[in-house]
Amino acid sequence: MEELTGGTFSITNGGVFAPCSQRPLSTRPQSAILGIHATKDRPVAENGQVVIRPMNYLAVSYDHRIIDGREAVQFLGTIKEALEYPGRDTAGFVVKGECHG
């Protein structure tokens, strides 16, 4: 258990050069890392129409010895909701910023 002591959580920004399939790698002593990729205009289906919206990809990597996959996916969903609806309290996360919806 000593190798699991002092774990951290990191956030990395893939920046404008990151491919959308990039997965961040967690290394000791990280327990997890969240990768946030560049925001780019992309086509999206909305009410039966194709519209252009600013989109980005999120990815989380985590140490399966201390974090269960279910909790990691729920965490990623919470981050997604907080980014999609800025200003709304989503499970304790409040993101301030401009809404593009």
DSSP E strand stretches across 16-97: 30-37, 40-46, 49-55, 58-62
Instruction: Write the single-letter amino acid at 35.
Output: G
- Tell me the C-alpha distance between 50 and 75, whole Å: 29
* 37 among known catalytic residues: no
Catalytic-role residue among 37, 41, 63, 64: 64
- Tell me the C-alpha distance between 1 and 57, whole Å: 33
74 three-class SS: helix
Catalytic-role residue among 41, 68, 89, 100: 68
* 41 among known catalytic residues: no
What are the residue numbers of the active site? 64, 68
